[in-house]
Structure 1
Amino acid sequence: MMCREEVNRKHMRQIIVLFWLAIVGLSGMTLLTPSVGHAAVELKELYQFRVQVNSQSPSERQQALQEALQATLLKLSGDSQLEDHPLVNQALRNVRDYVVQYGYQQDEQLWLWVQFDQSQVDQLIQAAGSGIWSSLRPRLLVWLVVENDDLEREMLGADSEAIMVQQLRNAAARRGLPIQLPLLDLNDSMTVSVIDVWARFMDTITFASARYSTDGIVVARFYRTDPSQVTEQQPERWSGDWTLHIGELRWSGSVRAMDRSELGAMVVRDVTDQLAARYRIGSTSDTLQEWTVTIDHLRRLESAIAAEQLLSAMPAVTDVQMVRYNGQAAQFRLRLQADPARIRQAMDLSKQLQAVSGETDSGDAVFRWIEQR
């Protein structure tokens, strides 16, 4: 139970939130809430990777190339089970067949940089029964509360140097998941507390998250495993649970580890698996399908060309043709090796495309083009 002082603090924060809501309402401003496509990040250089090495020996080079290919496959697919597929194991043994070029880079450490062949890597992922996650990835804000042995709770933010936060960031970078942690500055402290995050008061958390303009929110809690749940079969002494909110979508899960510092990376793994399963595009059909997409607000030919290039970059899109352009709107005919609904999910994350009317009676999709400043 919360003590009277905690209850009073909670009420005071609620009054502050209501006050700012009133100010915002009076000024005619619209509060930002996390939504798909609001702040999606386009990842670059997905087919490149760097591995730290100790020398330029052939044996270490071979091992580093294999590690780089594994990491590239994971970043492209978000599929944790892909590395166990026999075709992937065979590819790792013949990793040089997938390499376009490689070289060594020296700063404080020695690195092996490698560029993989995009078409061959894509074919490998598809042949292994998985799919490719678009380069457009949702950006997530992670609210994290950690409980210690004395049941004291602490919220960790962007400036935290805790090992679990470092591992969380490293895992997110390795999997191509754009994340950030809250600043936990005066603005945050006025609107959200450790109690709010621990209890998952989502109205309060969502309000506090609006300033960060992310696509979604992750709320994670780490704590000691209940002693009654620690067994020889499950000896992990630390537990965690998480929830993910993106628009109207909801996911949740739990993790356990022997070392508390491992929990952050495990949450990233589970969150990525869920997101990639939704947005991953696989070649589900050997027969090419046609899909027509109309994009309006293309007031310049350069914008129409940029839209065509964006569509061409989508996974499983084998060909794009502009069939009509009238100075305002363009119609494109796409040839796909996947369900159009899967392509549309990837398009919904684009900053430059906004769905305006779902699909027409003929199944065509209609989008509005958003110029980037």
Structure 2
Amino acid sequence: MMCKVEVNRIRMRQIILLVWLAFVGVVGSIAITPSVSHAAVELKELYQFRVQVNSQAPRERQQALQEALQATLLKLSGDSQLEGHPLVEQALRNVRDFVVQYGYQQDEQLWLWVQFDQTQVDRLIQQAGSGIWSNLRPQLLVWLVAEDDDLRRQLLGADSEAIVVQQLRNAANRRGLPIQLPLLDLNDSMTVSVIDVWARFMDTINFASARYSPDGIVVARFYRTDPSMITEQQPQRWSGDWTLHIGELRWSGTVRAMDRSELGALVIRDVTDQLAARYRIGSASETLQEWTVTIDQLLRLEATIAAEQLLSSMPAVMDAQLVSYNGRTAQYKLRLQADPARIRQAMDLSKQLQAVTDETEDGDAVFRWVEQP
């Protein structure tokens, strides 16, 4: 239970925040809740990977190629369960069948760089019962409060060198999840406190997050496990919980580990699993479906071509063809090996496609093209 001093301080902060918001409302129209514009990050080179090696020995090269394929499958699917699938295990034994080219790179360390065959890798993921996560990934802002051994709580930001933050970043990079941590500069310190994040005061957190324009917000808390919860079956001394907010969508979860430094990677694992389960696109159906997509505001021929290329690049889109164009609006016919609703979710994350309406009576979709600077 919070003491009276803490309660009074929180109330005072809320009053100051309300006064500030009222002032902002008078000065100009500024949204205080970060809008989810779905301006997701587009990942590049998803079928390439680098593995640090000690030598160019054949045995070490084979192990590095297997590690690279495992990492590529994880980044493409976001599916933590994929690694143990019999088809994947077989593919790892025959990893060279999936390699297009590889080579060694030397800087301060020696690296094995490898590029995999996209068609074969995609087929492997689909046959293993999973799906491809589009290269459009939501940018997440992570607010993290961690307790130490003395139960002192600290907000960890972008400049933190804590091992738990390093592991969190490494896990996000490995899984293809774009994240950022707050700067915790003067602007942040005037707006949000450790108590605000620990108590998950989302109005305050949303206001502080607006300057970063994220697609979603993760609030994570790390703390010592309640001694009464430690058993022989669950001996982990550290626990964590997290919530993920993307627009109106909400997810939450808990993690446990023997060492606090492991919690960040575990949170990223769970967050990625939840997001990928929503956005990855499977193609278990052997029957191709047709879907019509109309895009407005295509004022240049180059934009019309770019839109067709974007549609063609979506997972499970076997073909995208321009069927009509009137100098402003184009209509495309897509052949899909998946439910159009799954493709629609991936398209909603695009910076260049802005949904205009829900599906028409015929099940078609209408978007507005947004030119990028």
* TM-score (norm. length: structure 1): 0.98
Q: Is 1:238 the counterpart of 2:210 in the alignment?
A: no
- Superposition map of 1:216-365 within 5 A: 216-365=216-365
Aligned partners of 2:34 and 2:207 also within 8 Å: no
Q: Deviations over 1:155-210 (max 9, x none)?
A: 10000000000000000000000000001111111111100100111111111111
SS for the counterpart of 1:359 is coil
SS at match of 2:108: coil
CA contact (8 A) 2:38 2:348 kept: no
State the Cα deviation string for residues 96-145 of structure 1 (Å, max 9, x = none). Answer: 00000000001111000000000000000000000000000000000000
Cα deviation 1:311-357 (Å, max 9, x = unaligned): 00000000001111111111100000000000000000001111111
Corresponding position: 1:67 with 2:67 = yes
Deviation of 1:22 after TM superposition, in Å, equals 2.0
State the alpha-carbon separation in 1 of the partners of residues 122 and 24 from structure 2.
Answer: 47
Q: Is the 8 A contact 1:39 1:213 kept in 2?
A: no
Q: State the partner residue of 1:54.
A: 54
Query: Aligned partner of 1:188: which letter?
Result: D
SS of residue in 2 equivalent to 1:240: strand
The amino acid that maps onto 2:67 is E
Aligned length: 373
1:1-373 equivalence runs, <5 A: 1-31=1-31, 33-373=33-373
Separation in structure 2 between the aligned mates of residue 160 and residue 169 of structure 1, nearest angstrom: 11
Q: Are 1:78 and 1:273, in contact at CA under 8 Å, matched by a contact in 2?
A: yes
Greater mean deviation of Cα atoms: 189-198 or 168-177: 189-198
Q: Distance in 2 between matches of 1:300 and 1:249?
A: 35
Q: Is the 8 A contact 1:292 1:332 kept in 2?
A: yes
**Shift in Å at residue 31 of structure 1?**
1.5
Q: Secondary structure at the match of 2:61?
A: helix
Cα distance in 2 between the residues matched to 1:242 and 1:48: 31
Partner amino acid for 1:320?
A
Letter in 2 for 1:343: I
Indicate conservation of the 8 Å contact 1:16/1:190, yes or no: no
Q: d(CA) in 1 for partners of 2:191 and 2:76?
A: 37
RMSD across aligned C-alpha pairs, in angstroms?
Answer: 1.1
Q: Distance in 1 between matches of 2:126 and 2:194?
A: 44
Using the alignment, how far apart are the partners of 1:300 and 1:337 within structure 2? Answer: 30
What amino acid maps onto 2:134 in structure 1? S
Identity of aligned residues (%): 84
Distance 2:225 2:117 in 1: 45
Distance apart, 1:33 and its partner CA: 3.6
Q: Could you tell me how far apart the structure 2 residues matched to 1:254 and 1:243 are?
A: 9
Shift of 1:37: 4.1
Cα pair 2:32 2:206 within 8 Å, conserved? no
Mapped partners of 1:95, 1:324: distance in 2? 44
Gaps of 5+ in 1: none
**d(CA) in 2 for partners of 1:254, 1:66:** 31
